[in-house]
Amino acid sequence: MDRNEIEALGASLRRINQKLLRPDETSQRTRIWYQGGEPYFDLFVEEDAGKVVWFQLTLRGRSISCNQQTSHIKTGSTNELRVDDTSFYPASKTIETDRNPDAIFIETIREMFRTRAGEDVFDQLSTMLADLQ
C-alpha cells in the first residue's frame, strides 16, 4: 500500500455507537468498535481505565491483534473474502493465525495508526505495536 492509501484508510475509521456493543457485566474494561470505509475493515479496542490493553483489526482478508498482557502481536488471514456456504454468514468469521507475525502488515497498520496522531487511542495503538515488535 502506498502512503495515500494508508492515510485514506486511517481517515475512514469511524467510531461506532457504543450502544451497539453488548457490555460485559463481569469486566471493568470497555470495548470500542471502529468501522473503516471498506467492507470487512473493523477495529476493536479494549481499554481498562483509559489504557488500551488489547485490539484486533481486520482489513482485506488480513488480521492483526495485540494483547498487552501477553506481550504478543499476532497476524493472520480471515475467511471474509472467501465465498462459500460457511463464510457467507457474517457471524462465521474465522481467523487463521500466521506461523510468524507478518512484519510488513504490522508496520503498515502502525503507519495507519500514526495517521491519526494526536488521538489518544491511536497514539496508544501505535506505541503498543512499536513496543511489542
Q: Stretch 61-85: mean pLDDT, rounded?
A: 85
The structural domain count of the chain equals: 1
Strands of the 72-78 sheet, one edge to the other: 14-15, 30-35, 42-48, 51-59, 62-67, 72-78, 95-97
pLDDT band (50, 70, 90) for residue 19: low
Q: Quote the CA–CA distance of 61 and 42 in Å, as a whole number.
A: 11
- Work out the percent of the chain whose per-residue pLDDT is above 90: 63
pLDDT band (50, 70, 90) for residue 132: confident
pLDDT at 48 over 70: yes
Residue 61 and residue 40 in contact, taking contact as beta carbons nearer than 8 Å = yes
Cell reading at 7: 492515510
| Helices 103-114 and 120-132, axial angle in degrees (round to 10) | 150
pLDDT in tens, 75-93: 999 887 666 655 455 556 6
* DSSP SS3 for 59: strand
Query: Domain range for residue 26?
Result: 3-132
pTM > 0.75: yes or no: yes
Q: Higher model confidence: residue 116 or residue 132?
A: 116
Q: Quote the CA–CA distance of 74 and 37 in Å, as a whole number.
A: 23
Residue 110: predicted pLDDT: 97
